[in-house]
Amino acid sequence: MVYYLALLKLVVFAVIAAAELDDFFPEPLTAANFDNVMSKGFHFVEFFSPHCSHCKALAPIWKEFYDTFHAEAESYDVYINQVDCVASGDLCDREKIFMYPMLRLYGPNDRGNGGKLLASFSKGYERTVEGLTAFVREQAIDSREELLQSPKEITDLMKSADIGAISSANMIEIIAGQIEKPYLVSFWPGTDEELNVNTFSQDVKDNKLFSKCPRCLDFRNLWSMVGRRLSPLIKQNELSVGYLNCKSNKNICLSLGMDDLLTDNYGTYDPKIFMFLPSNRGGNKIRYKASTLNGKQIINWSKRLLDIAKFEDITKADLTKKMKLRSSPFRKEDFTEIDVDPTITFVYLYSKETAVAEDFWLLDHLVQPVMDLRSNVRLYKSSDMEFMDLAKNQEETLIKYVNQEIADPANQLHFDEEMYTARTLTTYPMLLCFKDDSLVSHVFQSFGSHDIRDFNVVMDFIRVNANPFVEQMTDASRDAIFPRNFDPSFMSKNEKVVLVVTDANDHTKLHRQGYALSQIGHRFHYLKQMNQFEKLKRLRGEKYAKVEKIKAKGKDNVEIIRALREQVPHVFEIKDNNVHLVYVEQAKLKSISENLGWSKFNAQKYEPGDIIIVSRFTNNYWDTSLKGQKLSSDTISEVVDILSAASFQKFAGKGLRSSLSISAVSTYFVLFILIAVLILGLSKTRATARFRSRPDKHRGLKPFFSDAEANVGSGPALGKVD
């Protein structure tokens, strides 16, 4: 018995030791060991104060980040550390830590006796486990080759690729489009003396600009990575890359609206990147506007822009090489992984027989707004009418695909020629949209040149179709999937998001989950078209019934013609009941729901394979079928049924947020407005009474800007792309 008790104690001690080992976290670095640790490998360091509220809020996130990622990071020689700035104040002063928490990436210095600052955690990343992980992956692991370059290697690269400071005269030609190839330019808050081909690779201790502008040092490392990875395009004479020092080119930077780069407020320096296109490609200046600034994203943006700015005239065969165009039904085996960067292509289809020069003016003005879209959107032109055949073939194949999961022949879908014609009938030029891994194609119906030349209408069509057919929920995509702001020009209040819960550590079931999402998306898309077509037939019937009534009353032909000319409203609205298909990891569902304020949503009850339908803009969600059964990737038909009921029959779901909190906020807001109006009214009454007896010395003067012409602004012009 004593033996068993002793054995039990050993087991308990082993479990406790294992738990303590799991909770292990490195001791904070100090001035005594900081330089030695930094001299080997790469280090992501949190400088914190134990008294800082933001540091306390970050602490559990940092701990989880360490627990989940340190093993993988260390396999790439990247380590996660901390420095307590209360205990090691001198060290933090030396490293110029001016706020807490401050997160920095260090690497070994060139002398091998300490570290050098490589990058700081930027505003483009969220302080979440996912955001911290993404920063280390992109800035340390993906950029490893660039970080290991010596100053001489960086200088040699800049010289060989001719990446240097641009002169005023050259910059004026670049802005005017008097260049033979696109020019990628970054703008800096320094002078030509501070930043040139000889000083670009210097350390913070040697370069005056980097010493006073830490963000400039981060950007230097990023820009050298961009130059290195774009050097093949530079050598192929497809692209030029350079940088402009604004304090040596003040007038140019002022004309481009970069006043902030002419001040000494380096703490708020925001790197600016433009690509200037030759005049024969529209002569536009296209700005990089993404919130996250990392080399990989800038490189992909540059390559995408180079592809779009060619306005390549492609064929259907060409497009099959550029994206995953589908012309056959999917199989479960097709969904073994999640495509993180699917392609969405818009084809500007024109007829050679009827096209005129004015038909192509729109394309130049689409470049900047298309490049501002977060997804991998491409834009081409074509006169290949096989694209219309492709769109029809995809719809016929879609029918075959969804019928694979409809056992009862009586319930199977059928291709409707009349409906297809009604939603695709158009004049030329027009736009077609195709997406990776999708049999859904969208047609911009143009009934005259005024339609396809309307910039706002065309951009609304592009925006509403710019989301991938299926995507993954991440920190970066969350606010695009569930936008904070509603824009009625390309959004609808009745949109839904279909979430399938996945397990990041078990992709063996992904093929079933991906197949289910695809089936749901394709089947509901066709049902939505059928619903819209029924509405169209009803409206047409009402119109012709009205005409018959007028005829029966013996009215004259003028009234009959007037009734016949009444337009039936356009019913094939893509945004109407639009559905977004999304993978969401089980481990992230709770934090995502909290971030979105879903106070009544119990994220912990869902398992991998479960499906949740969430209203994109209202307070509803659905997680059970019409019979009350749980929705999952094994209940495709039940998911489509509840999705259809919620969309077409206004079937109410459960509440995401407390209705009390919503009404309370609204009530308090209304009360605040009423009180403010009351106070202002009382103030105005008193002021009027006080000054009523005083003569108005300036009665003959008109109020400033009372002239209507003085209030006319320049407004957004179609030809101005910024």
Residues 601-634: pLDDT tens digits? Answer: 999 999 999 999 999 999 999 999 999 999 999 9
**376-382 and 343-349 beta bridge pairing:** parallel
Q: Do domains 25-147 and 151-309 have the same CATH topology?
A: yes
- When pLDDT is averaged across residues 491-495 and rounded to a whole number, the result is 95
Identify the weakest region by mean pLDDT among 193-202, 279-288, 431-440. 279-288
Q: Which amino acid is at 594?
A: E
User: In the prediction, which pLDDT does 534 show?
Assistant: 93
Q: Cα separation of 143 and 135, whole Å? A: 11
For the stretch 390-404, pLDDT in tens is 999 999 999 999 999
Spatial neighbors of 132 by CB under 8 A, at least 6 apart, are 44, 61, 62, 65, 69, 103, 121, 125
Spatial neighbors of 296 by CB under 8 A, at least 6 apart, are 138, 142, 143
Q: Cα separation of 431 and 471, whole Å? A: 23
Both structure tokens of 62: 């940092």
User: In the prediction, which pLDDT does 233 show?
Assistant: 95
Q: Cα separation of 415 and 400, whole Å? A: 9
Task: For the chain, give every domain's residue range.
Answer: 25-147, 151-309
User: In the prediction, which pLDDT does 221 show?
Assistant: 81
User: In the prediction, which pLDDT does 683 show?
Assistant: 54
Task: Give the confidence band of 677 by pLDDT, cuts at 50, 70, 90.
Answer: low
Q: Cα separation of 381 and 124, whole Å? A: 34
Task: Give the confidence band of 20 by pLDDT, cuts at 50, 70, 90.
Answer: very low
Instruction: Classify domain 25-147 at the CATH superfamily level.
Output: Glutaredoxin (3.40.30.10)
For the stretch 229-267, pLDDT in tens is 999 999 999 999 999 999 999 999 999 999 999 999 887
Task: Give the confidence band of 704 by pLDDT, cuts at 50, 70, 90.
Answer: very low
Q: Cα separation of 121 and 293, whole Å? A: 10
CB atoms within 10 A of CB 500: 25
Q: Cα separation of 466 and 490, whole Å? A: 11
Give the best-scoring range by mean pLDDT among 295-299, 355-359, 429-433, 686-690: 429-433
**115-120 and 78-84 beta bridge pairing:** unpaired
User: In the prediction, which pLDDT does 323 show?
Assistant: 95
Architecture of the CATH domain 151-309: 3-Layer(aba) Sandwich (3.40)
- When pLDDT is averaged across residues 147-170 and rounded to a whole number, the result is 84
Both structure tokens of 476: 């970066």
The share of the chain scoring above pLDDT 70, in percent, equals 87
Instruction: Assess whether pLDDT exceeds 50 at residue 219.
Output: yes
Instruction: Assess whether pLDDT exceeds 70 at residue 428.
Output: yes
Spatial neighbors of 472 by CB under 8 A, at least 6 apart, are 338, 340, 582, 583, 584
526 HSE (CA, 13 A, CB side): 24
Q: Cα separation of 250 and 253, whole Å? A: 5
For the stretch 78-101, pLDDT in tens is 999 999 999 999 999 998 888 899
Spatial neighbors of 403 by CB under 8 A, at least 6 apart, are 412, 413
Instruction: Assess whether pLDDT exceeds 70 at residue 181.
Output: yes
User: In the prediction, which pLDDT does 673 show?
Assistant: 65
The share of the chain scoring above pLDDT 90, in percent, equals 61
Both structure tokens of 88: 């090691």
User: In the prediction, which pLDDT does 571 show?
Assistant: 79
SS3 403: helix
